[in-house]
Structure 1
Amino acid sequence: MFKRFIDFIFQKDRFKVVIIVEPGQSIEIPSKTLVLTKKGNAFTWVRYKCPCGCGELISLSLSPVISPYWSMVISQENSKRQKVTITPSVYMRNTKCCSHYFITENKVIWCK
């Protein structure tokens, strides 16, 4: 119970910010930030730093033309606090940390 309270207070394992950019727009990606690339009406990429803290930049394709690809749902609680869910799980076998997790409403749910 206490651990859940501490995690809630410090928002551990949660993306705090969602930024939407146009293709080709350069942006420095801080920790705990999801950067969504939007071309026209469609989202094409999700980029963020690995939530394990290793610093690896993760890029997930949202386009079925590029394999592998993920699906994304954005629930707009309000315009300032968007919540992102990405499916299926993210398993980065080719990174130094080999993290495996789900992103559900900005929360990172680790696979054991």
Structure 2
Amino acid sequence: MSWRQRAFRRLAGIWRAIWAWRAPRIRPTAVADLPNEIEPMKLYLVGEEEAWQAAMLCPCGCQAIIQLSLIRRDSPHWRAWTEADGSASLSPSVWRKPTCGAHFWLRRGRIIWC
């Protein structure tokens, strides 16, 4: 790899980091039922008293709806929580293997690509 390619990759990485820092954060929204129209930049926590499902639009841009179980008895299941700044986090990572292949973490409202 030439020095130009290395320099370009380094600059591209710096640009992505700056953009990710300035990008708006994904916010949690509690709902009783999943709405027909899913809005970008929202993590829907579905359930009346306690959330049993999390849903969001795929961050890769394919516009697919990602639905994740928050029920501990289910396998697999995820944990969703609201950070002190009001942003959303998910654990573990989300990997959409059969479709678009998006693999990411949602931490403090930001998408961290794997």
Regarding TM over 0.5, the answer is yes
Question: Normalising by the residue count of structure 2, what TM-score does the alignment of the two structures yield?
Answer: 0.75
Q: Aligned with 2:77: secondary structure?
A: coil
Measured in 2, the distance between the counterparts of 1:6 and 1:84 equals 19
Choose the corresponding residue for 2:68, options 42, 60, 78.
Answer: 60
RMSD over aligned Cα atoms = 2.1
Query: Could you list the runs of 5+ residues in structure 1 that have no partner in the other structure?
Result: none
**Aligned twin of 1:18:** 28
**Aligned twin of 1:33:** 42
Determine what percentage of the aligned residue pairs are the same residue: 27
Question: Normalising by the residue count of structure 1, what TM-score does the alignment of the two structures yield?
Answer: 0.76
Higher strand share: 1
Report the CA distance between 1:28 and its aligned residue.
Answer: 1.4
The number of aligned residues is 101
Tell me, yes or no, if structure 1 residue 99 matches structure 2 residue 102.
yes
Measured in 2, the distance between the counterparts of 1:98 and 1:25 equals 24
Measured in 2, the distance between the counterparts of 1:103 and 1:62 equals 15
Q: From the superposition, tell whether residues 53 and 86 of structure 1 become closer, same or farther in structure 2 (CA, over 3 Å).
A: same
Moved over 6 A (4+): none
Report the CA distance between 1:18 and its aligned residue.
Answer: 2.6
Task: Check the 8 A contact 2:87/2:108 in 1, yes or no.
Answer: yes
Measured in 2, the distance between the counterparts of 1:25 and 1:61 equals 13
Q: From the superposition, tell whether residues 91 and 52 of structure 1 become closer, same or farther in structure 2 (CA, over 3 Å).
A: same
The letter of the residue matching 1:38 is G
Higher helix share: 2
Report the CA distance between 1:57 and its aligned residue.
Answer: 0.5
What are the superposed Cα offsets for residues 47-89 of structure 1, whole Å, 9 maximum, x if unpaired? 1110000111000111123321101221243xxxx21111111
Q: From the superposition, tell whether residues 84 and 7 of structure 1 become closer, same or farther in structure 2 (CA, over 3 Å).
A: closer
**Map 1:78-97 → 2, pairs under 5 A:** 82-95=86-99, 97=100
Higher CA-based Rg: 2
